[in-house]
């Protein structure tokens, strides 16, 4: 399987070191990674960007749900990686082994 056909959408808020471990577990193994942030007040957004991850910052004027975050991330991933065949959704406090 070509890695460029696999993408990851990670979602979270104020994940800190957990997010770093999450993103490190997937970044080198897939075509593209999108992190969807739901209003973090820590350095989660800056961390994700520093790791080369595309970031979507949700408009918090609209009600937040995990489903909304995943859908926003999926839409961005499809624009970044049009040839995508597989998407792995992961919460920012989890690692993919």
pLDDT tens digits for range 53-85:
999 999 988 888 999 999 999 999 999 989 899
Q: What's the pLDDT score for residue 29?
A: 84
10 Å Cβ neighbour count for 11?
Answer: 25
Per-residue pLDDT for 1 more than 80?
no
What's the pLDDT at 52? 95
Q: Which helix (H) or strand (E) holds 80?
A: helix 66-80
Q: Residues 15-20: what's their mean pLDDT?
A: 94
pLDDT at 55: 98
Return the half-sphere exposure (C-beta side, CA atoms, 13 A cut-off) of residue 14: 4
Distances (CA, A) of 40 to 16, 85, 93: 9, 30, 13
* Token pair for 22: 């999450």
Report the C-alpha dihedral over residues 33, 80, 35, 8, rounded to 10 degrees. Answer: -40
């Amino acid at each position: 399987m070509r890695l460029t056909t696999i993408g990851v959408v990670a979602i979270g808020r104020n994940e800190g070191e957990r997010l770093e471990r999450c993103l490190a577990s997937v970044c080198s193994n897939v075509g593209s990674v999108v992190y969807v942030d739901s209003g973090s007040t820590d350095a989660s957004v800056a961390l994700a960007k520093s790791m080369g991850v595309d970031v979507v910052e949700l408009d918090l004027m609209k009600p937040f749900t995990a489903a909304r975050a995943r859908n926003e991330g999926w839409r961005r991933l499809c624009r970044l990686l049009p040839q995508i065949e597989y998407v792995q959704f992961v919460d920012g406090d989890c690692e993919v082994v």
